[in-house]
């Protein structure tokens, strides 16, 4: 196990007190900058807003970097806020959240060795012929390393950052207090449901036994589908803070963009069909559509599926509500669309006639694509831009400000992420025919 320096390395603060002290130090630094900036503005005869003083370019960088260095709940909360509040956030807050969506820092070798010793014992080297100290990937809860067993089997080992699991609740409380204090969170949006969802999701993702079970379930569900490869769980080397699975060699999914059109189209069709099966057949969905969670094997055309920490059960009620929504949209049943959108919590009941019409117009933009006779060209259309512009207009209408239930949000995140991936790859898929098979 050779120590290879990584320019991204930064030690994870590992105790609740140490993490709270880091957050407190950040708040103190921001407050000091606010006081200085406020004094200077007053001398110039100005009356600045608190959010203007907090969100200077320097403070935006400082806040994003500190949350990224801490990893864990603080970083995950930023990612969730970005997903759930969308166009309703000011650009300063979005600048912070976009930095948190990037890959995290990684543990330095000394801390990595301690994490391995805590997970496997002081003689952890006996479990591996080799262990690459440079991670394959790093995220908010842990980082993934490649290793070889004494028998020569290649493994991917996901190691949880030290102290992250125990500090979830305190991290979230401290981060939420800082967000409220900054004045950047819109007062019209209740942050408490987001906090509750972030808390639940983080505790689930930090439960590696749960993720291992989800990995095994998906392996069984897709065992007969040669379009996909799911890593095999290695129970013998899995621990509460270490998830071991077979290493499945493959290339980044983005490489498909350079493949022939028929190969691109086939791969994206497989992913969209899998999403529909997850929603209507399995009622079990891996809800994180991060591109890094999909890999591609050029020699076989198979897609390797990774990271099942965000796997969620989908209720029968929710599954059927989405089926009703799609059916109503295909049949141009406007009342059915509104009823279905209310039942899944996507819009709140009691909207005015004008706002109901606004929602219907935006919905129709999407459903019109599902009624077309031809395959949908993800690259050759302006659908995403039109939806984004309409969403920004809706974001300015405060009566429509509403955060749907977590189950709806995560389904929408998966669907939206797959759309972005299909656009990136330039695929052309008969989405309408696929949807009709399920509704």
Catalytic site residues? 288
Rounded CA gap, 124 and 365, in Å?
56
Cα–chain center distance at 123: 35
Is 165 exposed, middle or buried, given 0-12, 13-18 or 19+ CB atoms closer than 10 A? buried
The pair of structure tokens assigned to 375 is: 């395959």
Cα–chain center distance at 71: 14
Rounded CA gap, 260 and 434, in Å?
22
- Angle, CA 365 vertex, CA 323 and CA 313 arms, to 5°: 30
């Amino acid at each position: 196990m050779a120590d290879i320096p990584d320019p991204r390395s930064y030690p994870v603060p590992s105790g609740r007190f140490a993490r709270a002290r880091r957050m407190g130090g950040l708040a103190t630094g921001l407050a000091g900058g606010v006081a200085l900036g406020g004094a200077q503005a007053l001398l110039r005869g100005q009356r600045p807003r608190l959010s203007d003083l907090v969100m200077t370019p320097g403070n935006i960088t400082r806040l994003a970097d500190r949350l990224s260095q801490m990893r864990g709940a603080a970083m995950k909360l930023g990612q969730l806020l970005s997903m759930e509040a969308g166009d309703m956030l000011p650009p300063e807050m979005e600048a912070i959240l976009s930095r948190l969506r990037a890959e995290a820092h990684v543990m330095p070798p000394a801390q990595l060795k301690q994490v391995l010793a805590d997970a496997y014992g002081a003689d952890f080297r006996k479990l591996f012929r080799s262990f690459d100290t440079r991670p394959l990937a790093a995220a908010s809860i842990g980082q993934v390393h490649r290793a070889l067993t004494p028998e020569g089997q290649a493994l991917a080992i996901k190691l949880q950052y030290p102290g992250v699991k125990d500090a979830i609740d305190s991290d979230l409380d401290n981060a939420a207090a800082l967000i409220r204090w900054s004045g950047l969170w819109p007062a019209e949006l209740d942050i408490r449901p987001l906090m509750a969802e972030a808390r639940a999701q983080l505790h689930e993702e930090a439960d590696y036994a749960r993720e291992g079970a989800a990995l095994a379930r998906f392996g069984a569900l897709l065992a007969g589908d040669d379009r996909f490869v799911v890593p095999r769980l290695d129970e013998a080397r899995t621990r509460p803070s270490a998830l071991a699975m077979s290493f499945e060699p493959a290339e980044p999914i983005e490489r498909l963009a350079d493949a022939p059109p028929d190969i691109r189209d086939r791969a994206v069709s497989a992913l969209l069909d899998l999403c529909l099966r997850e929603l209507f057949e399995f009622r079990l969905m891996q809800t994180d559509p991060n591109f890094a969670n999909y890999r591609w094997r050029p020699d076989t055309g198979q897609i390797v599926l990774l990271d099942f920490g965000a796997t969620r059960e989908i209720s029968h009620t929710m599954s059927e509500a989405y089926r009703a929504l799609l059916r109503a949209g295909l049949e141009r049943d406007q009342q059915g669309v509104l009823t279905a959108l209310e039942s899944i919590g996507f819009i709140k009941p009691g909207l005015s006639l004008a706002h109901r019409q606004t929602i219907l117009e935006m919905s129709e933009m999407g459903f019109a694509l599902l009624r077309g006779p031809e395959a949908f060209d993800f690259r050759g259309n302006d659908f995403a831009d039109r939806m984004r512009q309409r969403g920004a207009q809706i974001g300015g209408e405060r009566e429509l400000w509403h955060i749907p239930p977590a189950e709806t949000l995560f389904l929408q995140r998966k669907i939206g992420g797959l759309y972005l991936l299909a656009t990136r790859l330039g695929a052309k898929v008969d989405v309408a025919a696929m949807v009709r098979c399920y509704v």
